[in-house]
Amino acid sequence: MDRLDKKLLELLQEDASRTNADLAEEVGLSPSSCLRRVRRLKSAGVIDRVVALLSPAKAGRRVKAIVTVELERHGEEHMRRFLELVAAEPAVIQAYSVSGDTDAVLMLRLADMEEFDELCERLFQDRSNVARYYTMFVIRTAKETTAIPL
């Protein structure tokens, strides 16, 4: 990946709806060369997907929460089952198996506290293998980006 590829990727991360002609002009390439580069980056998997980023507040998802989870039983199978359970929940926008005292970290986007309560009942009660969980509600966001530094 050369400097032109990196510049194209930076521009696309800022606004993927730019036309190929606009991208080509910004990086100093012909439109056909620019298009070939972008297609190559897509086929190589560097560009994973192109999506629309919504305003959570305008989409009715004003509540953001971070949940740390400690499992009762450990091991690959138990973690896999828990991650499959949380991956099926639309309000869970990110789910990670992590190292340290915590087994998993979940990022949630919720409409309200009622939705949070219902989600907790489904994910953390009964036979979910969750020993304990801790929730932090986000008060203010200092930085939130999807861009990968290049």
Please report, for the domain that includes residue 27, its CATH number.
1.10.10.10
102, 69 Cβ separation under 8 angstroms = yes
Identify the domain containing residue 88 by its residue range: 63-137
71 and 116 co-located in one domain: yes
List C-alpha distances in Å: 98 to 69, 70, 95, 103, 145: 10, 10, 10, 5, 21
Dihedral Cα 101, 103, 107, 113, nearest 10 deg: -80
Quote the CA–CA distance of 137 and 67 in Å, as a whole number. 9
Q: What is the pLDDT of residues 51-100, one digit of tens each?
A: 999 999 999 999 999 999 999 999 999 999 999 999 999 999 999 999 99
Q: What is the pLDDT of residues 101-145, one digit of tens each?
A: 999 999 999 999 999 999 999 999 877 799 999 999 999 999 999
Q: Tell me if 109 is assigned to some domain.
A: yes
- What domain count does the chain have? 2
Q: Tell me if 9 is assigned to some domain.
A: yes
3-state secondary structure of 75: coil
Q: Tell me if 71 is assigned to some domain.
A: yes
